[in-house]
Structure 1
């Protein structure tokens, strides 16, 4: 058997693995895990809104710490981390072989899938590290991490430009997420024909409200990164927790944070709908 034949056979086996039932289960478990994290972050943000700015940190680290405090919390964290590995592997398969749908083989979509593979791989690692006893991993403050990364980047040659461009990219990503949610672009990724009218309404409510709220958080965080670049001050950069707290400093007080927090809960529920109806 020549080298080309072996390579072709290997690729065929990889494609079959990517389209296997196990990969589908992993992807759906990953959506369920993502949903749980967003529901908890939204709930923590609500606590901040109603406690006058106190409460626990409303980010992934806060959500992980909240789970760990519950009975059998460590077991749940292990399951959560394994589910996120499933999500990461599914995204990797999309990067290698394309997504489901007629336009899923486009290079841009593959590149986005590769980025999501890296992101979910990191999240899975942080969750599993926390479950294994490294409380400084998954439970770290997103605000401190953001400031540390920004400070390091600002020290590089052209650091202000790097941080500024990164901030613009994050802000644009947030706007893109919100616009796509409002336009209901997620329909093409879901098995809409399998839903009842009641379920469709729930999917659209959580998808639009949740996606727009999530996009608003990203866009605001990007704005803070731009401010950090302009002022050459890493303290201006904010993680998810401080970004959410910033919504309480608007003229409407904590009520904007209440809306955004409920939107993050909605996005978590939307993720659970994805776990059931996503085309994988």
Structure 2
């Protein structure tokens, strides 16, 4: 019987083709635009909270609800969800086949980072769909943390999650300070990266890192004290910043920084390495 000359596709061939798909690359760049819109709204909500006139919960879901209330909000929400979903799929392909341009010695670390981003963007896409369909909701951070704390080794699990988020925040701050995020902008993006984009990235990464570190700190506090009421999301983190000495100023600066990250995300849609 003649042996077929065709080789069966390798397990990684499908994600590799998806990773190289121009259509997916364009859609994934749209995901960075979605991220920009979300962070601009988060920055605005944080500033509103600082000046004492909150107009919604200063977290991702609150920002998406603000977007829904805008003219054409339903369409904008679905476009935002599509952008995040495409970006999640892009990060998933990098998790499976490797990150282009990364050194072989760093591939394992880069794949783990890509996997984490895939989960994050997938969650944001699901949240946007939930707001668009009116199905958004779910348990609060305190309720979910209480459930975990009652599990065997629950305090250790909550503490580990909190520490991981703190580390993520520190990584953001260091990346902004050292401008190491610029490496993500050099590659297949269009044109040279200007200093304005770099400065926006620096401010945005530092501000976002501070907010993440506070969120992680709240979960660590909940684990140490076994008190789920101490846990919280981004809205609780921003209120914690507001309640510190000179908290109003600190929160305004944080809000401006988060908004700067949003503008930087628009630039990343053009310059990001794909």
- Normalised to the residue count of structure 1, the TM-score between the two structures is 0.90
Distance change (3 Å), C-alpha of 1:194 and 1:276: closer
Q: In the alignment, does 2:172 pair up with 1:177?
A: yes
- State the 1:132 CA deviation: 2.1
Unaligned runs of at least 5 residues, structure 1: none
The CA distance in 1 between the partners of 2:21 and 2:62, in whole Å, is 34
1:72-221 pair list within 5 angstroms: 72-103=72-103, 106-134=107-135, 136-137=136-137, 145-191=140-186, 195=191, 200-221=194-215
Say if 2:190 and 2:270, in contact at 8 Å, map to a contact too: no
Distance change (3 Å), C-alpha of 1:11 and 1:251: closer
The CA distance in 1 between the partners of 2:158 and 2:130, in whole Å, is 28
1:15 maps to what in 2?
A: 16
The CA distance in 2 between the partners of 1:272 and 1:194, in whole Å, is 13
The CA distance in 2 between the partners of 1:251 and 1:149, in whole Å, is 30
- State the 1:195 CA deviation: 4.8
> Deviating runs (4+, > 4 A) in structure 1?
192-196
The CA distance in 2 between the partners of 1:13 and 1:220, in whole Å, is 40
Deviations 1:145-187 (A, max 9, x none): 2112211111011211211122111111111111012111112
The partner residue of 1:238 within 232, 241, 247 is: 232
The CA distance in 2 between the partners of 1:66 and 1:161, in whole Å, is 36
The CA distance in 2 between the partners of 1:14 and 1:87, in whole Å, is 14
2:70 maps to what in 1?
A: 70
- State the 1:78 CA deviation: 0.7
2:251 maps to what in 1?
A: 257
Instruction: Figure out how many residues of one structure are paired with residues of the other and give that number.
Output: 270
- State the 1:18 CA deviation: 1.4
Distance change (3 Å), C-alpha of 1:11 and 1:227: closer
The CA distance in 1 between the partners of 2:218 and 2:75, in whole Å, is 36
